[in-house]
């Protein structure tokens, strides 16, 4: 039976969710919790995490300590938030249960700890997560146009999977968890790897190559299609599991940094946009993989 979205809004038509300028030009993330709240980094100023209601009302959720600045955001099976801290080479963990009971910002800040640290990372940039809570992190070296891929176990153990790639950026796991996708911003490649149950990668192959503009974050829907933010072009490319460009969704801003799925049916896409410092949103016909994972975990 085909999935039936709960909303009758037009599909693939972007609109503003949050006001322009509410976030800095370092806006990234984003990620939805099981309750429907959306989180993105650098709300109002750097070193912060903002929380956004489904209606688009944003507030300050966390202040990251020690000079940390977040990038990618994901949630695990316990509902805890993980943040790629590219300044300090960390994956931060936020105890969302403690945050739910906290009555002050300071109490929420105290719920953040370092889940994993790896000094030899260039920077953990974007992160993906599997159903067993294994994390995968892209690790670009922007100055020299190369990058790496790391795996972080559910206990925080860090393993290098591949090095001397192009500038690795967006990263995602397929719905059947048999494929890991990684893109290279400068080289404009999207690579697919076979992904084993233990988190090993093999059989690297080119999924799609773009002729212009860059790429940033990307996410899968439950059908396996990749939604890829096209930095500088101001579109989100929808690409099939076979590497076919199905369509491009135009945005108002040009520097789109990442995308997440949420909403009551998982068919609402949220896109962080650096040049406007806000979040744009549009509807799709197939739920996002991360929304499906969150529903299983409720």
The whole-number pLDDT of residue 5 equals: 54
Closest CA to 92 of 128, 122, 68, 119: 68
Cβ atoms of 62 and 112 within 8 Å: the answer is yes
Q: Is residue 224 part of a domain?
A: yes
Q: Does residue 23 lie in a domain region?
A: no
* Of 205, 207, 204, residue with least CA distance to 226: 207
- Confidence class for position 294, pLDDT limits 50, 70, 90: confident
Is there a domain that residue 282 lies in? yes
**Does 59 fall in a domain?**
no
Tell me the pLDDT tens digit for each residue of 83-140.
Answer: 999 999 999 999 999 999 999 999 999 999 999 999 999 999 999 999 999 999 999 9
Mean pLDDT value across residues 181-202: 98
Report the distance separating Cα 263 and Cα 175, nearest Å: 18
**Residue 298 has what pLDDT?**
60
Across the chain, mean pLDDT equals 96
Let me know if residue 167 belongs to a domain.
Answer: no
- Integer Cα distance of 154 and 87 in angstroms: 22
DSSP string across 123-186? ----EEE-TT--EEEEEEETTTTEEEEEEE-TT--EEEEEEEES-EEEEEE-TTSSEEEEEETT
175 falls within a domain: no
Say which residue, 56 or 293, is predicted with more confidence. Answer: 56
For residues 197 and 190, give the distance between their C-alpha atoms in angstroms, rounded to a whole number. 22
**Does residue 2 have a pLDDT over 70?**
no
Q: Quick check: is 254 in a domain?
A: yes
Q: Which run of H or of E encompasses 297?
A: helix 289-297
The pLDDT of residue 3: 45
Count CB neighbours of 54 within 10 A. Answer: 16
Q: pLDDT tens digits, residue range 209-266?
A: 999 999 999 999 999 999 999 999 999 999 999 999 999 999 999 999 999 999 999 9
* Residue 169 contacts residue 215 (beta carbons within 8 Å): yes
What would the mean pLDDT of 183-190 be, rounded to a whole number? 98
How many domains, the chain?
1
Q: Does residue 152 carry a pLDDT above 60?
A: yes
Enter the tokens of residue 190: 């999207």
What are 50-77's pLDDT values in tens digits? 999 999 999 999 999 999 999 999 999 9
pTM recorded for the entire structure: 0.95
Evaluate if residue 186 carries a pLDDT over 50.
Answer: yes
Range 52-61, long-range pairs (CB < 8 A, 24+ positions): 52/17, 52/18, 52/279, 54/262, 54/263, 56/16, 56/17, 56/18, 56/279, 58/18, 58/22, 58/23, 60/105, 61/99, 61/108
For residue 294, what is the domain's CATH number? Answer: 2.40.10
Q: d(Cα 101, Cα 212) in Å, to the nearest integer?
A: 47
**Which pair of structure tokens corresponds to residue 267?**
């068919």
What domain range is 226 assigned to? Answer: 217-298
Check residue 1 and give its pLDDT: 31
In a domain, 244, yes or no: yes
Look up residue 295 and give its DSSP letter.
H
Q: Report how far Cα 179 is from the mean position of its chain's Cα atoms.
A: 17
- Evaluate if residue 4 carries a pLDDT over 60: no
User: What are the tokens at 203?
Assistant: 């059989």
Gap between the Cα atoms of 161 and 153, Å rounded: 12
């Amino acid at each position: 039976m085909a999935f039936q979205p709960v909303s009758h809004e037009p599909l693939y038509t972007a609109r503003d969710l949050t006001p322009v300028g509410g976030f800095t030009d370092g806006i990234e993330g984003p990620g939805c919790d099981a309750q429907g709240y959306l989180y993105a980094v650098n709300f109002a100023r750097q070193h912060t995490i903002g929380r956004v209601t489904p209606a688009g009302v944003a507030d300050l959720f966390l202040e990251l300590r020690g000079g940390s600045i977040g990038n990618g955001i994901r949630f695990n099976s316990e509902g805890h938030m993980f943040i790629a801290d590219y300044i300090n080479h960390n994956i931060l963990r936020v105890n969302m249960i403690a945050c739910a009971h906290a009555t002050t910002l300071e109490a929420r800040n105290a719920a953040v700890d370092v889940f994993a640290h790896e000094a030899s990372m260039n920077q953990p940039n974007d992160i993906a997560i599997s159903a067993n809570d294994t994390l995968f992190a892209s690790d670009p070296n922007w100055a020299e146009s190369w990058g790496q891929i790391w795996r972080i176990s559910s206990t925080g153990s860090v393993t290098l999977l591949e090095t001397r790639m192009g500038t690795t950026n967006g990263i995602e796991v397929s719905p059947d968890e048999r494929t890991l996708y990684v893109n290279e911003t400068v080289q404009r490649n999207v690579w697919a790897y076979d992904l084993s149950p233990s988190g090993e990668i093999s059989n690297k192959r080119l999924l799609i190559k773009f002729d212009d503009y860059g790429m940033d974050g990307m996410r899968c829907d439950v059908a396996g299609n990749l939604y890829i933010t096209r930095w500088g072009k101001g579109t989100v490319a929808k690409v099939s599991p076979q590497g076919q460009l199905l369509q491009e969704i135009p945005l108002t801003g040009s520097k789109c940094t990442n995308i997440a799925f949420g909403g009551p049916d998982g068919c609402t896409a949220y896109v962080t946009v650096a040049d406007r410092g806000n979040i744009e949103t549009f509807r799709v016909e197939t739920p996002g993989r991360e929304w499906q994972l969150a529903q299983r975990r409720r």
